[in-house]
Chains A and B, each alone.
Chain A
Amino acid sequence: MNQGAVLGHEFVGVVEDAGSRSSDSSRGDRVVSSFFTSCGVCTLCRKGWFQPVRGQVDLRPRRVFREPGWCQAEYVVVPLADHSMELIPNGMSDEQAIFVGDILATGFLRRRTGRDQARGRGRVVGAGPVGLMATMAAQALRAVSRVRRRHGRLAARRWPWTSAASQSTPSTFTRSRRSRVRPAGSAPTRASSAWVFFRGRHGDRERPRRRHHLDGRRSERGDR
């Protein structure tokens, strides 16, 4: 990494100016961006499986985040913006929306890929940011039935990512008799190593419907 390099690849912002070929965004729009750009016209993109444009796949940070990265700055240029950004709904705070562009989507990916889905179970190893997002996504989809910390003491704590609304309703945690974690206590400020087990019918129910139904939405938009 070079001295003076601008870091970061997760951001929200207000559109200052839009290029002539950007039809989806205009000045003043509040947007969140994906951490990579995709062309939107290749075979994979048309199938709804968006991949970084060629040249971005090199895993050196410099290349990966070349566009639209370097975002911890006052201004960022987002290439291929129509396929990289989403409007933030009115009333949603920047802090809520920002993780959609990378780690929340990455956590969500766990629910959509992998053979674990066939059995409706999976495992998150490590409670770092992506691990927390994966657990949150699974919880939002009502897939978590058992959460256990393998190392250290079991912590009964309020899960920091659940909204007040979902905590007031019976969660999967409290419904499960085998659950050893109750939503109580304070939010952790420190990421700790944890093993999170998913088990439940949700994954099984979800699978037969349409495997890539979420992907399809974006695909339709891309074909427009």
Chain B
Amino acid sequence: MVGVPSAVIGDFPYMKMWLKSLTFRAGWCNVQAYMRPLLDLIAAGRLSPRRSSATGLKLDQAEEAYRIFDAREATKIVLTP
């Protein structure tokens, strides 16, 4: 599992996993190792993460941005100074 779940994982089905011999793994992302290759992919045009974010809000509109984000009206919001 990657990323921090936004919902609390309650009642983790350990017994079910045990019965099915499932493996569960989780961990920090190795960001430092991936930044350069990902920047290369973006520069090559194979990734365009910008498209999943809204922009145009200023830093002092952060409160409004958090409201929008909390209401799931935007996936990501980029704040500019």
Q: B-contacting residues of A (Cβ < 8 Å)?
A: 7-8, 32, 34-36, 38, 48-52, 72-74, 83-84, 86, 88-89, 91-110, 112-115, 128-134, 136-137, 140, 160-163, 165-166, 187, 189-191, 214-215, 217-219
CB-CB < 8 A to B76: which residues of A? 99, 103, 129
Q: Among B27, B31, B47, B52, which residue has its beta carbon within 8 angstroms of that of A34? A: B31
Q: Among A86, A92, A95, A133, which residue has its beta carbon within 8 angstroms of that of B35? A: A86
Alpha-carbon distance between A46 and B28 when the two chains are bound, in angstroms: 16
- A140-B46 contact in complex given A32-B35, A48-B33, A89-B39, C-beta closer than 8 Å: yes
Cβ-based interface call for B2 (8 A): yes
Alpha-carbon distance between A190 and B75 when the two chains are bound, in angstroms: 7
Interface size class of B (residues with CB under 8 A): 35 or more
Q: Among A34, A83, A165, A191, which residue has its beta carbon within 8 angstroms of that of B75? A: A191
12 of the cross-chain contacts (CB-CB < 8 Å) are A35-B31, A72-B79, A83-B32, A91-B43, A92-B43, A105-B31, A106-B3, A109-B30, A113-B27, A130-B3, A131-B3, A162-B48
B residues 18-47 touching A (CB-CB < 8 Å) = 23, 25, 27-39, 41-43, 45-47
In contact, B78 and A105 (Cβ under 8 angstroms): no
Alpha-carbon distance between A165 and B45 when the two chains are bound, in angstroms: 7
Q: Among B3, B27, B39, which residue has its beta carbon within 8 angstroms of that of A100? A: B39
| Closest chain B residue, CB of each to CB of A219 | B33
In contact, B72 and A191 (Cβ under 8 angstroms): yes
- A214-B43 contact in complex given A95-B55, A96-B49, A187-B51, C-beta closer than 8 Å: no
Cβ-based interface call for B73 (8 A): yes
CB-CB < 8 A to A96: which residues of B? 42, 48-50
CB-CB < 8 A to A105: which residues of B? 29-31, 34-35, 38
Distance to closest chain B CB from A187 (angstroms): 7
Cβ-based interface call for B17 (8 A): no
Q: Among B25, B41, B75, which residue has its beta carbon within 8 angstroms of that of A132? A: B75
Distance to closest chain B CB from A75 (angstroms): 10
